[in-house]
Amino acid sequence: MTAGKNFIRSLNRNVAALLRLGMGKKSIGDFNTIQEAVNNLPADGGKICVLPGEHIANVVISDKRQIRITGCGEHSIVRPGPQQISTPVFLILNSQKIQIDQLTIVAFDGVGIEVADKRESKMFSDQITIKENTILAGIHAIYVHVQEDIGGDNNISISYNKIGMVDKAIGKAAIFSIADAVLIERNRIVVIAGPEGKDPDDPTDPNDPGNGDPFDPCFDRLKAYQLGFSINFQVFRFIRYILLYKPTGRSKKKYLTQGGIQIGGTSEKVSIRQNEIIGGKGNGITLGHVHEDDNQYLLKVKEKTLRYSPVYEIIIEENLIMQMGLSGISSLLSVERGESYVVVKDITIYRNTIKLCARQLPESAGENRNKSWAYGGVVLSDCSNGSIQENRIEDNGLILGAAICGIFVLHGEKLDFSANSIVNNGLPVVDEDVDVQRGNRGGIVVKSAFKAAGKNKLFGATRPSFDGVPAVKVHDNVVVQPHGFALYLMAFGPVSVVSNQFTSLGTDKTTPVSLLASAVFILNLGVSKDLLLLSFKNMGKAAPEDNKKKLSNQSAQKALIALQYLPNGKVMFSSNQTTLDMRSPLKNLGLSSQFIASLDDVAFNTNQSECAGLLAAEKKAITFDFVLVNTVLFGVTVRSNDNRFSDGVTLTLFSLASFGFMNTATGNQSTHCLITLGVKKAVNSNLVFDNTLCKDVKG
């Protein structure tokens, strides 16, 4: 101790302190505890080197600046004291420029590192770096919760850590963060499952001794800590699991701990990049959290009160997310007292791989308790300015009969789905005896998308204005949905669906909408300005006195102006390949493969639409599939040009049925007849392979 104090006094004021922490027996340093070294640092901080050995510590760094605590990797093990096994190993309070690196931190029953702010302090957390550590934890590996009502960036970096969450019921998210300007990068997060033998991918040796095993219910950890037993072997065993575990989907293990990463409400400017997230009963990445204060951030919708939890400017890119119990990325939260409504404003989800998730769904998932719930790859409750591009979302929800989505958005504005591979999410239904659960299922499902207006000043008043960004853009995706819609989209604004491959392997008979379409369903409630023109023309036929009376009414004036500022409902559906593949033992019955309707214009051009049915005799019974119409189009104006409608042996009466006040069908090729209805129509240069019924059909 005296040597340490003399060492500090001998430092020049312009040179930061360098303290070595030893164990006394195996290594000798300036101090024997980390807390002692922290307390003896000068005001301008310094560097503490933790030498090899097992260090007992529950370190508190409060109102400090410029401290780096570094170790020797796997050789510098820090674990909590015997009376504080559930207390954080490192607690950083209202401190700035703090770095913890190259340590092995063990908290089998608690939290590895916690960063928090006390309201009574004038200093707030800033520039906290946690990197290149190995952390084994029971509750959280890293927990960050700074003051939410203080503006400014916190600049927190969590990178290159190896994190193992011991699979116990007390376990929560491996990394939990409520802060602004957070980077979570290149961490490997694995839930370490117990040795029940239900996972053939388990890399541990079953013959390893279990003495001191955190999963052993008979092991008294408090007594072991008091007696000073070494945990070196368990640390080595778990590090090996973290590094070597590679899931293949064969595991039957049901996880107990949540796992993954969770970004709490009010967080801003969060980047989650190039992490590997494997295992847990929760989501790989969860957006939002349930506030501890019941009266904080409440949102009333009709007669229902929801907890409001917003997050802003989120970037999630190039992460590997596998074998999660719920979804890969999700902002849907539920608690016993009610639901939490998470609003995500400005999010980018780019080049992530999400596989083998949605494997441990709650029992209530099949009860259709709430139509707003979904599980699968990416699930967002409310999203504005959302870009989901170049992701691989494959083989999730491999549970027979489960309702699974590749991408699900409950409410959205300015959504962009581009160049994603969304394949085999859910299992196909090939037997009538399968209990098919009700719920949201599909490749890309958007329950509601709205084109919000900006504000411009016009004639001295503020009026809404619209830019050229569509409410929903779906481009260059490959979607193969084993059961249900490949694309389900309801919008109030312009929609662009271009150059996609949509495949559905069977109709979802649990939803009434499937009576209209099996593979693609688009309904746009945006209003054509030509409809307003038609209403004006009808007013011209009325008596002038009646029109003058109507226009003099202020409510009518406001309604008239509001109608003119409604978003349009234009739908561009072009250069897509859509297949309704019904070649299974089940009989498939439906109105159509594709149903696209709008109160504005529908452009259906240069598409290839196929209904692939199965006609076979099996066990003295004939198996067949019936689809009345390949494609149904409805709009104020409709154009279906240069398309190929292929029906094959599917029992189909018509290849196209379209209706519009102005309706054009030109240059199409089809297996069966084309029905085109409208006040004004142009139908020419179409080729029909089987025109048997065409002579009986007008239009």
Which H helix or E strand runs over 394? strand 392-394
Q: Which segment of 369-378, 502-511, 512-521, 661-670 scores lowest on mean pLDDT?
A: 369-378
Distance of alpha carbon 213 from alpha carbon 279, whole angstroms: 20
Which H helix or E strand runs over 529? helix 529-541
pLDDT of residue 302: 52
Q: What is the dihedral of CA 486, 492, 495, 501, to 10 degrees?
A: 0
Amino acid at 526: G
Distance of alpha carbon 127 from alpha carbon 155, whole angstroms: 5
Mean pLDDT of the region 406-429: 96
Distance of alpha carbon 315 from alpha carbon 105, whole angstroms: 28
Indicate the pTM of the whole model: 0.90
- Highest mean pLDDT: which range of 98-112, 526-540, 573-587: 98-112
> What is the pLDDT confidence band of residue 583, given thresholds at 50, 70 and 90?
confident
CB 366 within 8 A of CB 346: no
Q: What is the dihedral of CA 87, 89, 92, 98, to 10 degrees?
A: -170
pLDDT of residue 25: 45
- DSSP category for residue 238: H
Q: Which segment of 85-99, 308-322, 409-423, 576-590 scores lowest on mean pLDDT?
A: 576-590
> What is the pLDDT confidence band of residue 542, given thresholds at 50, 70 and 90?
low
Q: With 50 as the cut, is the pLDDT of residue 2 above it?
A: no
> What is the pLDDT confidence band of residue 43, given thresholds at 50, 70 and 90?
confident
Distance of alpha carbon 491 from alpha carbon 448, whole angstroms: 6
Q: What pLDDT digit, counting tens, does each position of 638-674 carry? A: 999 999 999 988 888 999 999 999 999 999 999 999 9
Backbone angles phi, psi at 633, to 5 degrees: -125, 135
CB 285 within 8 A of CB 321: yes
> What is the pLDDT confidence band of residue 618, given thresholds at 50, 70 and 90?
low
Distance of alpha carbon 50 from alpha carbon 52, whole angstroms: 7
Q: With 50 as the cut, is the pLDDT of residue 246 above it?
A: yes
The two tokens of residue 491 are 């919008």
Q: With 70 as the cut, is the pLDDT of residue 106 above it?
A: yes
Distance of alpha carbon 2 from alpha carbon 283, whole angstroms: 51
Residue with tokens 């149904």: 632
Distance of alpha carbon 451 from alpha carbon 491, whole angstroms: 8
Q: With 90 as the cut, is the pLDDT of residue 252 above it?
A: no
> What is the pLDDT confidence band of residue 540, given thresholds at 50, 70 and 90?
low
Amino acid at 510: T
Percent of the chain with pLDDT over 90: 60
- DSSP category for residue 622: E
Q: With 60 as the cut, is the pLDDT of residue 244 above it?
A: yes
pLDDT of residue 6: 38
CB 311 within 8 A of CB 267: yes
Residues with Cβ within 8 Å of residue 695, at least 6 apart in sequence:
none
pLDDT of residue 11: 33
Q: With 70 as the cut, is the pLDDT of residue 104 above it?
A: yes
Mean pLDDT of the region 435-439: 88
The two tokens of residue 79 are 């674990």
Angle at CA 187, nearest 5°, toward 181 and 188?
Answer: 150
Distance of alpha carbon 85 from alpha carbon 165, whole angstroms: 15
Burial 143-169 (b: 16+ CB within 10 A, else e): bbbbbbeeeeebbbbbbebbbbbbbbe
CB 484 within 8 A of CB 468: no
Q: With 50 as the cut, is the pLDDT of residue 295 above it?
A: no
CA of 456: how far to CAs of 384, 450, 462, 465, 522, in Å?
20, 19, 5, 6, 31
pLDDT of residue 320: 99
Q: With 70 as the cut, is the pLDDT of residue 63 above it?
A: yes
Mean pLDDT of the region 31-35: 87
Q: What pLDDT digit, counting tens, does each position of 146-204 carry? A: 987 777 899 999 999 999 999 999 999 999 999 999 999 999 999 999 877 678 888 88
pLDDT of residue 1: 37
CB 104 within 8 A of CB 71: yes
CB 404 within 8 A of CB 396: yes
pLDDT of residue 452: 72
What sign for the dihedral angle of Cα 69, 74, 75, 78? positive
- Highest mean pLDDT: which range of 510-514, 648-652, 676-680: 676-680
Q: With 90 as the cut, is the pLDDT of residue 425 above it?
A: yes
Residues with Cβ within 8 Å of residue 139, at least 6 apart in sequence:
86, 107, 109, 110, 111, 170, 171, 172
pLDDT of residue 151: 72
CB 266 within 8 A of CB 178: yes
pLDDT of residue 692: 81
Half-sphere exposure of 345 (CA within 13 A, CB side): 8
Distance of alpha carbon 591 from alpha carbon 515, whole angstroms: 6
pLDDT of residue 39: 93
Q: With 80 as the cut, is the pLDDT of residue 48 above it?
A: yes
The length of the chain, given as a count of residues: 699
Q: Which segment of 370-384, 413-427, 593-607 scores lowest on mean pLDDT?
A: 370-384
Q: With 70 as the cut, is the pLDDT of residue 94 above it?
A: yes
> What is the pLDDT confidence band of residue 120, given thresholds at 50, 70 and 90?
confident
Q: Which of 138, 173, 172, 177 is nearest to 157 (CA)?
A: 177
The two tokens of residue 641 are 């040009």
Q: With 70 as the cut, is the pLDDT of residue 15 above it?
A: no
Mean pLDDT of the region 563-582: 90
Q: Which segment of 207-221, 473-487, 575-589, 648-662 scores lowest on mean pLDDT?
A: 207-221
pLDDT of residue 8: 39
Q: Which of 682, 642, 643 is nearest to 662 (CA)?
A: 682
> What is the pLDDT confidence band of residue 687, given thresholds at 50, 70 and 90?
very high
Distance of alpha carbon 533 from alpha carbon 1, whole angstroms: 89
> What is the pLDDT confidence band of residue 215, given thresholds at 50, 70 and 90?
low
- DSSP category for residue 384: E
> What is the pLDDT confidence band of residue 83, given thresholds at 50, 70 and 90?
confident
